[in-house]
Amino acid sequence: MLETVRYTYRLRPGRAAQAELLAEWGRCRWLWNEAVHQQRTGRRPTFSKLSKLLTEVRAHNDWLRAGSQVAEQQTLRTYAIALKHSFTVKGRRRPRAKRLKTARPSLEYTTRGFRMRDGRLCLPNKVTVPVVWSRDLPSAPSSVRVYRDNLGHWYASFVVRRKVTSIPDADLIGIGIDWGVRTTATTTDPRFDLPHLGHRKRCAAERAKAQRRMTRRRRPAGVAPSKGYLAAKRQAARIEKRAARQNTHDARAWAKRVVDHHALIAIEDFKPAFLAKSRMARKAADAAIGACKRELINRGKRAGRKVVLVPPAYTTMTCSQCATRTKERLGLGIRVFDCAACGYTADRDVNAARTILATAERNRAGADDIRHAIASLRDGGSDAVRAGNLSGRPERAAPT
Using CB under 5 A, list all residues that contact Zn ion. Answer: 319, 321-322, 324, 339, 341-342, 344
- Judged by beta carbon, residue 298 or residue 318, the one nearer Zn ion is 318
Q: Least separation, in Å, of the C-beta of 343 and Zn ion? A: 7
Q: How far is the CB of 177 from Zn ion (least distance, A)?
A: 21
Rg (CA), the chain: 24
Do residues 236 and 211 touch, judged by C-beta distance below 8 A? yes
In the complex, the smallest distance separating the C-beta of residue 10 from Zn ion, rounded to whole angstroms, is 54
CB atoms within 10 A of CB 133: 11
Dihedral sign for Cα atoms in the order 102, 75, 162, 392: positive
Q: Considering the complex, what minimum distance in angstroms separates the CB of residue 330 from Zn ion?
A: 14
Q: What backbone phi and psi angles, to 5 degrees, belong to 230? A: -65, -35
Cβ closest to Zn ion, residue 27 vs residue 348 = 348
CB of 322 to Zn ion, least distance (A): 3
- Least CB distance from residue 320 to Zn ion, whole Å? 8
Min CB(47)–Zn ion separation in Å: 56
Q: Which is nearer to Zn ion, 156 or 353 (CB)?
A: 353
Nearest to 88 by CA among 309, 369, 374, 387: 387
Question: Measuring CA to CA, which residue among 29, 140, 119, 112 is closest to residue 76?
Answer: 29
8 Å CB contact between 329 and 317:
yes
Q: How far apart are the first and last CA of the chain?
A: 17
Strand segments, DSSP code E, in the chain are 2-11, 106-110, 115-117, 120-123, 127-132, 143-148, 154-163, 174-179, 185-187, 264-268, 306-310, 336-338, 345-347, 371-372
Helices (H) and strands (E) in the chain, counts: 11, 14
Non-local (6+) Cβ contacts of 51 within 8 A are 73, 76
Of 345 and 363, which has the nearer Cβ to Zn ion? 345
Cβ-based nearer residue to Zn ion, 243 or 319: 319
CA dist 297 and 305 (Å) reads: 9
Give 18 or 355: the residue with its C-beta nearer to Zn ion: 355
| Residue 338 CB-density burial (10 A; 0-12 exposed, 13-18 middle, 19+ buried) | middle
Cβ nearer to Zn ion, comparing 30 with 344: 344
Nearer to Zn ion, 38 or 321 (CB): 321
Cβ 323 to Zn ion, closest distance in Å? Answer: 7
Q: Min. distance of Cβ 207 from Zn ion in angstroms?
A: 46
Nearer residue to Zn ion within complex by CB, 25 or 337: 337
Please state, in angstroms and rounded to a whole number, the distance separating the CA atoms of residues 367 and 319.
20
